[in-house]
Structure formats: structure tokens, C-alpha cells
Amino acid sequence: MVLILGDSISIGYTPQVAQAFAGKANIIHNPGNSQGTTHTKARLDKWLKMQKWDVIHFNLGLHDLKRMQKADPRKNSNNPNDPYQADLATYTTNMTEIVAKLKATNAKLIFATTTPFPAGVSPHRDPADAQNYNKAALKIMEKNQIPVNDLHRIVADKLDTVQQPVNVHFKANGTTLFAKEVAKKIGETLDITPAEIKPAPPKKPRKRQPRKKQKQ
């Protein structure tokens, strides 16, 4: 049993990874979006008790480094002066606690780095923070001897071709790149060869629904 624990980036590549291990290993994503470390901490015990996990592939950071409104910390903000969802010190503390709980399961762990994004995304995120948070996380992984799947590295030099414009999310070809790398790492950990991951079909743009005319 393999748990993929993470945010919407991991939700995107999980179906292709699961398909690559069909009949060989069960690949399950945590229910919903793991969001940031604070959200994950509150739900982690429940997720870990779902199964006896052999491998846990996890990523956290993309939500932690976004800005939240001062007046209402539950709401996203586009103001760079507003506070982080979890500043670097809080992220480090949370991640240390999360790693301790993951290790206690005796599953084999793989940490995936936070993926890059351009300036101008909404809610506000500073592009430099992807690596700042990764550096903090990598120190924890090194201390705990946890292998790293560097997803940041494999797309950092090709964002203009694999990422949606001014967005943290990726096109189908970017998601496929992630799926191949994740399947490779999980396969090496389980000593199982995954099936070839084929390119995902392009994502169809959402159709805008016509506005209903208001009654006079």
C-alpha cells in the first residue's frame, strides 16, 4: 500500500501513477487536498490509520508559503505584505512533527520538493520562497535520512512549456513528467517496475456558463 500525501499538484499526478502500478501495488492519495502543514497536522493521524502503509510519498509547502488576509487568516490574499499561511519557522516546526509521525509508521518515506511557479500568481506567492521552503525541508530530510524526489528540479527550466500561465498548476505534459518521476521513485522503493506512463490528454478548458438574466 502506497500513500501519496500532498496538495493539488500530487492530486494531479496520482491517477497516472496508480495506473502504472495497476495489479502490482495500490496507490492511494490522502482524502482531499493536504493543503499546508497546519491542515495536514490536524488530519494526519486519521490518514495514517486508513491502512498499513508500505511507502509514503509526501510533499508540503506550496500552501504554507502563500499569503493570507490579516483580517481573516482563513482567506487567501494577494497582498505581499499579508502574513504567510505558515511562515518559515512555523513550517519547519510543523514539518519536523509531521516527519516524526510518518517515521513512526515504519513505512518507507519519500519527500517531494515544492514545485516552482512564476511571479504574479494568485493568491500571492513569492517565487523565491519555493526554494527557501525546500531548503528548510531538505535539512529535515537529511537529518532523518529520507530520500528526496526533486520535482522542483525537473521542471524549473521549462515552466513556459509545462506550466499553466501565471499559475502554480501544470499542463498535462507537466503532470505527466511528475507522474513518471514519482512512479520511478516508488518503483525503486518497492523493487517493482511500473508500467510505462503515457502522455495524459490535454486538459479541456472549462466552459463558462451563461449568466442568468435578472428579472426586472
Residue range 13-31: mean pLDDT, rounded? 97
Residue range 49-55: mean pLDDT, rounded? 97
CA distance 151 to 39: 22
3-class state of residue 35 by DSSP: coil
Residue range 123-134: mean pLDDT, rounded? 98
- For 144-174, the pLDDT digits (tens) are 999 999 999 999 999 999 999 999 999 999 9
Backbone angles phi, psi at 29, to 5 degrees: -90, 145
- For 75-106, the pLDDT digits (tens) are 999 999 999 999 999 999 999 999 999 999 99
Cell digits of residue 24: 502490482
pLDDT > 90 in the chain, percent: 91
Look over the chain and give the mean of its residue pLDDT values, rounded to a whole number. Answer: 94
Cell digits of residue 118: 512564476
Confidence tier at 207 by pLDDT (50, 70, 90): low
DSSP-derived secondary structure for 80-122: TTSPBSS-HHHHHHHHHHHHHHHHHTT-EEEEEPPPP--TT-S
Q: Which helix (H) or strand (E) holds 14?
A: helix 8-20
Distance in Å from the first CA to the final CA of the chain = 58
Our CA dihedral for 32, 33, 37, 39, rounded to 10 degrees, sits at -50
Count CB neighbours of 179 within 10 A.
Answer: 24
Domains for the chain: give ranges and CATH numbers.
2-190 (3.40.50.1110)
Residue range 186-198: mean pLDDT, rounded? 95
Confidence tier at 199 by pLDDT (50, 70, 90): confident
CA distances from 155 to 12, 159, 167, 168, 185 (A): 15, 6, 14, 12, 16
Confidence tier at 125 by pLDDT (50, 70, 90): very high
Question: What is residue 2's predicted lDDT score, i.e. its pLDDT?
Answer: 98
Question: What is residue 210's predicted lDDT score, i.e. its pLDDT?
Answer: 52
Confidence tier at 198 by pLDDT (50, 70, 90): confident
Burial of 60-99, coded b for 16+ CB within 10 Å and e otherwise, reads bbbbbbbbbeeeeeeeebeeeebebbbeeeebbebbbebb
In this model, does residue 57 exceed pLDDT 60?
Answer: yes
Q: Are 68 and 77 in contact (CB under 8 A)?
A: yes
Question: What is residue 20's predicted lDDT score, i.e. its pLDDT?
Answer: 97
Q: Are 141 and 111 in contact (CB under 8 A)?
A: yes
